Structure formats: C-alpha cells, structure tokens
Amino acid sequence: MSSNVDSAFAPDANQINLRDNVYDCAMRGLKRARFHPEAKINIVFRDADGKGAADEGGPSREFLRLLMSAIHSSAIFEGPDWHKCLSCNSQALYDVLYKQMGRMIAVCLVHGGVEPQNNSERLYRQVCGLQSPVPELKEIAEYDFREKLEKIQLAQTVDEAQSAVMEASEQLVMLGSVRYIRTLESDDLEESATKFYLESRLRDALEQFKEGLECLGLLPYKNRHSSLFRED
C-alpha cells in the first residue's frame, strides 16, 4: 500500500507519494501565495483506494519528520550524515534555496517538534550567534582538496610545501589563497585556506539560511536559548 498526502504544503488535490515526493511537495506549497507558516498543517494519508483519515497530529509529525530528513539530504548541505554543514552552491543561492530550507526547518520544529539532526558544531554555533571553533582540515567535506591541504601541512621542506601548493593551485586560486611559500615556520597557508573554505565563502549562504530561520520567530529564540538546540 502506498502512502499519499494532501496537506497545506500540497500544490493541489492530486495524490502524491509521500516518501518519494515530500520535499517537492513542501517546496511547491511553500512557494504558494496563500501559504502561511503560522497556519495549522493538515496531512491526510491516503491508501490505494483514495481513502484517508483526519489528521489528529500523527500524520503531520510523520510528514515533518520525513521533510527534515529530506532537507538534510538536499543540495544546501554537505558532509557525512553525522556532521552536516552548509555547502557552497551558487545555484541554490541564486534560487534562494537556503532561505526556503531555513523556513522549512522552522516549520518542522514549531509545528511538529522535529529538530534538525546531525548539524556540525560550526553550523550550530553560526546559527546561534556563538563564536565558531577554530577551523580544522578534517571539517572540509571535499576529500581531494582536504588531502592536498594535508600534504601542504605535513611538508618537511619548502620544496615539498611548494610542490604541494602547485598540486592544490586550482582550488587555492578559487579561494584567493595561493602564494609562494618561502619558509615553513611562518607560513599559515593551509590554515587561512581552511578558514575561508569553511566560513568566508559561505557567508551569503549562511545569512540567507538564517533569514529563513527567522520564520515563526525561531532564530531570535535560538539566539537567546542556544543551549536548548544543542544535540547531546
């Protein structure tokens, strides 16, 4: 038996396979002119015969749980399931997708009590207005770039370091971090590149994401009570 949904998020009365289309369903609903985040969300699961039951809370929570899972698998996040951080996606930024995802998260939390799961410590602190931890190479989700920076960091001679910089030059140029290394003692190329990769290049995406979290007054509350949103 397939599960289907009609809800305040759904674009029309057509039956939609919930598990396959929960994200698309929510996105279309969110973009409707008459969508209001404060309105009660009603979900109806329908069987193969089109029969359903009134939403007394359970269907809504299940829908929002599935939606939160879909959000964490979307294009605005990267990294392993246990350590999600914002990705750098120019198309998502242009499409205002970070803001839309922030709004969805606010709706999931306020209407269903479904909390974001497995966000990185850095993203948690950035969203809650706390000081970010010192950037570490292990946080870089892109394996190839992380490996190249590690070679720079572990270089024993200036020649080895410069050779490693040349290997990573394409990515370093994009970050504005490429330069000639003259001494190992005073050079912090990999540190500055890591910080730019993890924070500076994501500044616009983070601000858009936080703007979405302001939906339903969630962001100001998170900033005042940040400890309540920390995962154990």
- DSSP state for residue 121 in the 8-state scheme: H
Whether 114 has a pLDDT exceeding 90, the answer reads no
**Same-domain check for residues 172 and 224:** no
Range of the domain at 159: 137-198
* pLDDT value at residue 96: 94
Tokens for 13, please give them: 């009365």
Q: How confident is the model at residue 188 (pLDDT cuts 50, 70, 90)?
A: confident
- What stretch of H or E contains 10? none
Q: How confident is the model at residue 186 (pLDDT cuts 50, 70, 90)?
A: low
Question: Which residues are CB-contacts of 92 (< 8 A; sequence separation ≥ 6)?
Answer: 75, 76, 98, 205
d(CA 95, CA 68): 20
For residue 38, the tally of other CB atoms under 10 A from its CB is 10
**Same-domain check for residues 190 and 209:** no
User: Which phi and psi angles does 16 have, rounded to 5°?
Assistant: -125, 130
Contacts made by residues 132-135, CB under 8 angstroms, sequence distance 24+: 132/199, 135/191, 135/194, 135/195, 135/197, 135/198, 135/199
Q: Average pLDDT of 109-126? A: 84
**Same-domain check for residues 46 and 124:** yes
Q: Average pLDDT of 103-119? A: 84
- DSSP state for residue 44 in the 8-state scheme: E
* Alpha carbon separation from 73 to 40, 99, 122, 181 (Å, rounded): 26, 16, 18, 39
Q: Average pLDDT of 30-47? A: 71
**Same-domain check for residues 69 and 115:** yes
SS3 of residue 130 by DSSP:
coil
* Alpha carbon separation from 218 to 78, 125, 182 (Å, rounded): 23, 15, 49
**Same-domain check for residues 60 and 173:** no
Count of domains forming the chain: 2
Q: Letter for the amino acid at 229? A: F
**Same-domain check for residues 150 and 90:** no
**150 compared with 227, residue with greater pLDDT:** 150
**Same-domain check for residues 87 and 166:** no
> Cβ distance 92 to 78 under 8 Å?
no
**Same-domain check for residues 48 and 122:** yes
- Residue 39 sits in a domain whose CATH number is 3.90.1750.10
* pLDDT value at residue 94: 96
Q: What is the pTM of this model?
A: 0.78
